[in-house]
Structures are given as structure tokens and as C-alpha cells.
Amino acid sequence: MVHPIIVWLKNDLRIADNPALHAAAATGHPLVILYILDDAIAGKWKIGGASRWWLHNSLKALNDDLKAMGGLLTLRLGDALTIIPDMVTKLKAQAVYWNRSYEPYALRQAEQLSRVLEKLQVEAKTFQGNLLIEPWEISNKQGGYYKVFTQYWQSCLKTLEVPNPLPRPLKIAFHREDIVSDLLGDWKLLPVKPNWAKGFEELWRPGEKHAIRNLERFLENSIADYDRKRDFPAEVGTSQLSPYLHFGEISPRIIWKSLIPFLEASKERYLTEIGWREFSYYLLYHFPKLPDEPFNNRFKEFPWEDNDNRLHAWQKGLTGYPFVDAGMRQLWHTGWMHNRVRMIVASFLTKDLLIPWQKGESWFWDTLVDADLANNSASWQWVAGCGADAAPYFRIFNPVLQGRKFDPDGEYIKKWVPELGQLPEKYLHCPWEAPEVLLSSFGVKLGYTYPYPIVDHAEARIAALEAFKY
DNA sequence: TGAAATGTTGGGGCG
DNA sequence: ACGCCCCAACATTTC
């Protein structure tokens, strides 16, 4: 009897450049390819609503892909620490392979699982597939961890050698007997009544195949101009690979290597963004409380003003600042927001409204298809000013100026805040400055068809600076 | 990957 | 011709 190997997939839902899968397939043993949905383990940070939509489609795509190779994906709901040992015993598996993940709960879980498997005398083999650099590999001269991105990244680049991505296994032997699998549909990952994911379907095609297509489109159309165009939310100037990268439908190595043919100048900026992703995971590894507590201790006493009405206005895109509202509505409608706009809405929440950054973090967690614990926490802390290498507290975005600068024709506003769409460009970013007669001639009545600004930015800025003095 | 306040410079209007 | 003022444009400092 040939003993099967269990390949435990997590956020690495791909076949190409999947080190655990590749190594397992190379043994020639029959494989059980297993995905476990466990809402308990992550606690507060269980997979959010928008991400569930993505996950469903991603698992379906992977299953279709495996089917075409003569196999299938095994789905189980519950605790990996019981499911995997049970399965190992029942199937007389000889090993469990997986790619390492780095969330605090995942690290604990992996350690416990390794111990259980060791007792069962079953090999537990882990691989590096989701990051370019393991977080424990980089330390500063004092032996601590870097707290400034630039130094961290320079240190990484000194030693970084990205191996060539692994090809798709040509052939996978699948183990078939005695396998119990859930039906994906039973997991109820998709929204019903109302189906708020309709807008997602227009924009996104989850799955490995589409990840590669997206990358190709980006390299063909946008990378050459990335440095310039990436800041304009009305254009498709970014790669839009974030959800694929989060779920591991594409690996950072594939992205990295695919950029080699391009000129230094055009690719460097993009690689730096990959670097920020690495840095976020690095911070989360060394400071596991990153999602919940300010990295900078001084912010423990910060006088935030929790205000549910204002939070709701922000969430719904009804702050009265068109650029902010456009971003929040894009998020709600598509499960994604342009990065430039993320900074602006986050600055607005934490500085203009003085609402705790954790409130914004939670909202993004639930509404983003690319919600990623490391990236989301690190980025919110960065904007709020309490993170590592954070934006200084006095850097407060002016939503009107940002709008004029990065959406000069108001195209982005017209798309996401259509009730203002007829206004002359001059007033698109500041409708409250337009004469009332003009507004009403375009069907706008502030306070009725579109809100007045919920705070005065100039005043809010002064109040924020005052609060940040503490 | 900021914005506002403050400082400096230089051209033009004007007496 | 000259000094004075105003102010736009740009630079620097400050938050």
C-alpha cells in the first residue's frame, strides 16, 4: 500500500509555484489536497464578508483546475488540529505538507500541529511559498528587528535572491478512497438576499488563471507608466493583484521574476510595493498585537472620539467630501479601493473624524476582497501615525486638494458619486462652495440629494493637531 | 505617500 | 530715476 501525502492549502490557492504541492507531487505518492475553513481559530479576524465571496470563487476555480488534472479539492469545516490528525490516521498518510503562513494564530497552530504529527510519527514538512523573505531572517545590527521600512528593505535587497518559480506539476496522483469532503455550497460563503456582491462580479474573476492574466495585462499596459499613473484612481494604473496575492492565487516570486525584463525605473516602484507587503508581515511577526494595539506606545492614551453617526457616514460614503465618498462607495460596490484613495479615506477617518483606526481597520476587513491581516493592520497604523515608520501625525490629507490633484477631471467622482455628476468640474470636489442656484440647476440640493460636509476640514485639521499634541 | 504658514524674491504700478 | 508697495511665484519652515 502506498501511503498518501496530505497537502494542506491555506492562502496559497494555486498550482504553479506552490512549493508544498510541488514537493508532494514530486514524491509520486497519491495526494489529498485539503482546504480547511476554520472561523474559530482567527477569532475576531475570521475571514470577512467580501473575502468570503472571493474565497468561494477561488476554491471553485482551484477545484475545477484540479478536476482537469483528474483530481479534486477536499474541503473540511472545523479545526485543523483535529481534522488533520484524524485524516492522517484514517488514511494512513505518511506526511503532511504545507506552505508557511505568518498570522499569529497560524504560527501557533502550525507549531501545535507539528507536535501532534510528530507523536503520530508522521512527517510535517513546511515550505516558504508566500513571502520572499522569512520574517526571522532579517535583523538589524543590534540584533533586533527593523522599524523603518527603508533600512529594512535595503537590508533585504542585499541578500535577496529570488529563486525561479516552480512550474505546475505535470502530473499529480490523487488519493481517492475514504475521503470525506464538504460541498462548497454548504459553506454559504456567498451573500444571498441581498446579493451585495453583484458589483464584484463585474470587476473580478478570482482564480489562478485570472491572476496570471491580470499580471500580463498589467505588464503590457501599465508597468511602464506605473510610477506616474498609479496615483490616479480613475485610471487602471495599478496591478489590481492584491486579492490574488492575498489568497495566494499568484506567488510573490512569480510577480518578482516577471518584472525582470522591464527597466529599473519602471519596475522599482512596484517592487517596493511588494517590499511593503513583506515589511507588513515582518512587523506582524515581530509585533503580533499589530492588528489590535498601536505599535507606538504613546498612542495608548490618544483621545480618540468614537462617534457612531460619523462612522456610519464614512462607511456609507456620505461624509459630504466627494473624494472620500467616492472611495467608500467603490469599496462597497467592488470590494476594492484604489490605494491613493485608501490613504485619503483613512486619513479622513482617523484625523478629520478622530475615530480610532481600529474601526476603519475592521470595516476594511469586512468589505475588502483583498483583506489581509498584515497589510491591513500595518497600513492603518501607518496612516493613523501610530505604526512603525508611520506617516507623521501632522500629515493630514486635504480631501479637496487631493481630489483636484489626482482626479482633476472628476472622472472618479462622476463614476462613484453620480448625484454630483452634472456639476461643473470646478465644484465636483467641493459642492458646498457652489452657488445654490447653480446646484439646483443641476439637481443638487445639499442636505437632501447629497450631504453637507460632516466636518469642516480646516477646523478638523486644527482639532486633530491639538489632539495629537496630547 | 501633505498642507498651511511664513519667508523671500522680483516685477510692475505708481507717485 | 527712484523708492515704495503690492502680490504672485517660489522656497522654507512648521505642524
pLDDT at A6: 98
What average pLDDT does the segment A110-131 reach? 98
Confidence label for A266 from pLDDT (cuts 50, 70 and 90): confident
pLDDT at A137: 97
pLDDT at A330: 98
pLDDT at A178: 87
Nucleotides in B strand less than 7 A from protein CB: 1-4
- In CATH, the architecture of A297-469 is Orthogonal Bundle (1.10)
The catalytic residue among A273, A293, A411, A425 is A273
Write down the CATH superfamily of domain A5-129. Answer: HUPs (3.40.50.620)
Under 8 Å between Cβ of A344 and A323: yes
pLDDT at A442: 97
Question: Based on the number of CB atoms within 10 Å of its own CB, is A144 exposed (0-12), middle (13-18) or buried (19 or more)?
Answer: exposed
Answer for A394: CB within 7 Å of strand C.
Answer: yes
Q: For residue A347, is pLDDT > 90?
A: yes
Please, what is the end-to-end C-alpha distance for chain A in angstroms?
70
Q: How far, in Å, is the CA of A353 from the C1' of nucleotide C6?
A: 39
Nucleotides in C strand less than 7 A from protein CB: 15
Q: How far, in Å, is the CA of A351 from the C1' of nucleotide B8?
A: 32
Residues 6+ apart with CB under 8 A from A257: A162, A164, A165
pLDDT at A468: 85
Q: How far, in Å, is the CA of A30 from the C1' of nucleotide C1?
A: 99
pLDDT at A37: 98
Using alpha carbons, list the distances in angstroms from residue A401 to A60, A353, A420. Answer: 43, 18, 18
Q: Is residue A357 annotated as a catalytic residue, yes or no? A: yes
Which residue matches cell numbers 496630547? A470
Q: In angstroms, how far is CA A403 from the centroid of its own chain?
A: 24
pLDDT at A129: 97
Answer for A465: CB within 7 Å of strand C.
Answer: yes
Q: For residue A112, is pLDDT > 90?
A: yes
Residues of chain A with CATH 3.40.50.620: 5-129
Residues 6+ apart with CB under 8 A from A31: A4, A5, A6, A7, A21, A24, A25, A71, A172, A173, A174, A175
Q: How far, in Å, is the CA of A458 from the C1' of nucleotide C6?
A: 27
pLDDT more than 90, % of chain A: 95
* pLDDT tens profile A267-290: 999 999 999 999 999 999 999 999
Indicate if the alpha-carbon torsion angle A241, A242, A248, A252 is positive or negative. positive
What average pLDDT does the segment A80-105 reach? 98
pLDDT at A470: 66
Answer for A461: CB within 7 Å of strand B.
Answer: yes
Task: Tell me which of 3.30.1490.20, 1.25.40.80, 3.10.310.30, 3.60.70.12 is the CATH number of domain A131-165+191-286.
Answer: 1.25.40.80
Residues of chain A with CATH 1.25.40.80: 131-165+191-286
What average pLDDT does the segment A51-63 reach? 98
Confidence label for A66 from pLDDT (cuts 50, 70 and 90): very high
pLDDT at A193: 83
* pLDDT tens profile A5-52: 999 999 999 999 999 999 999 999 999 999 999 999 999 999 999 999
Dihedral angle computed from the Cα positions of residues A355, A361, A367 and A370, in that order, rounded to the nearest 10 degrees: 150
* pLDDT tens profile A298-328: 999 999 999 999 999 999 999 999 999 999 9
Q: Is residue A380 annotated as a catalytic residue, yes or no? A: yes
Under 8 Å between Cβ of A3 and A32: no
Q: Is residue A304 annotated as a catalytic residue, yes or no? A: yes
Q: For residue A164, is pLDDT > 70?
A: yes
Helix axes A373-384, A339-347, angle to 10 degrees: 50
The catalytic residue among A304, A419, A425, A432 is A304
Phi, psi angle pair for A245, to nearest 5°: -70, -40
Nearest residue to A184 (alpha-carbon basis) of A77, A66, A42: A77
Residues of chain A with CATH 1.10.579.10: 297-469
Using alpha carbons, list the distances in angstroms from residue A8 to A76, A85, A244, A267. Answer: 11, 12, 18, 34
What average pLDDT does the segment A386-413 reach? 94
Q: How far, in Å, is the CA of A458 from the C1' of nucleotide B14?
A: 38
* pLDDT tens profile A423-467: 999 999 999 999 999 999 999 999 999 999 999 999 999 999 999
The catalytic residue among A276, A307, A411, A425 is A276
Q: Is residue A339 annotated as a catalytic residue, yes or no? A: yes
Strand order in the sheet with A123-127: A74-77, A31-37, A5-9, A95-99, A123-127
Mean pLDDT of chain A: 96
Q: CA–CA separation, A406 vs A414, rounded Å?
A: 14
pTM for the complete prediction? 0.97
What average pLDDT does the segment A149-162 reach? 96
pLDDT at A56: 98
Q: CA–CA separation, A178 vs A216, rounded Å?
A: 40
